[in-house]
Amino acid sequence: MANESTYSLISSILNPVRDAAMLYAQKRLFMKDVSMMKDERTGLVPRDNSEYASGTVFKNLAEGANGLSNLQTFNRSQIASITPATYKAFYQLTDERLASEDVTDAFLDLAMKVTYETNLQIELDLLTSMASFTAGTIGGAGSVLSWTMIYKARAILSAAGVPPPYNVVLHEYSYLQLAVAANIAGLANPGPLKIRDDIQSDYYVGSTADMDIFTTGVLTAGTSVKQGIFNKMAILYDQRKPFGLETMNRPDLTSVVVTGQEYAGCGLYRPAWGVTIVSDASTPS
- Show me where the domains of the chain are located: 4-54+77-281
Among 231, 220, 242, CA closest to 268: 231
Rounded Cα distance, 116 and 39, in Å: 21
| Residues 9 and 103: beta-carbon distance below 8 Å | yes
Assess whether pLDDT exceeds 60 at residue 284. yes
Structurally, at CATH architecture level, domain 4-54+77-281 sits in Alpha-Beta Complex (3.90)
Which distant-in-sequence residues (6+ apart) come within 8 Å of 112 by Cβ?
Answer: 17, 20, 21, 24
Element (H, E) at 23: helix 14-28
- Residue at 173: amino acid letter: Y
Q: Which pLDDT score is estimated for 29?
A: 86
Assess whether pLDDT exceeds 60 at residue 20. no
Rounded Cα distance, 59 and 57, in Å: 6
Confidence of residue 200 (pLDDT cuts 50, 70, 90): very low
Assess whether pLDDT exceeds 50 at residue 202. no
Q: Which pLDDT score is estimated for 237?
A: 98
User: Peptide bond preceding 242: is omega within 30 degrees of 0, i.e. cis?
Assistant: no
Phi, psi dihedrals of residue 71, rounded to the nearest 5°: -65, 140
Query: 176 vs 165, 199, 215, 244, CA distance in Å?
Result: 23, 10, 10, 36
Rounded Cα distance, 215 and 173, in Å: 9
Q: Which residue has the higher pLDDT, 253 or 129?
A: 129
Rounded Cα distance, 101 and 24, in Å: 24
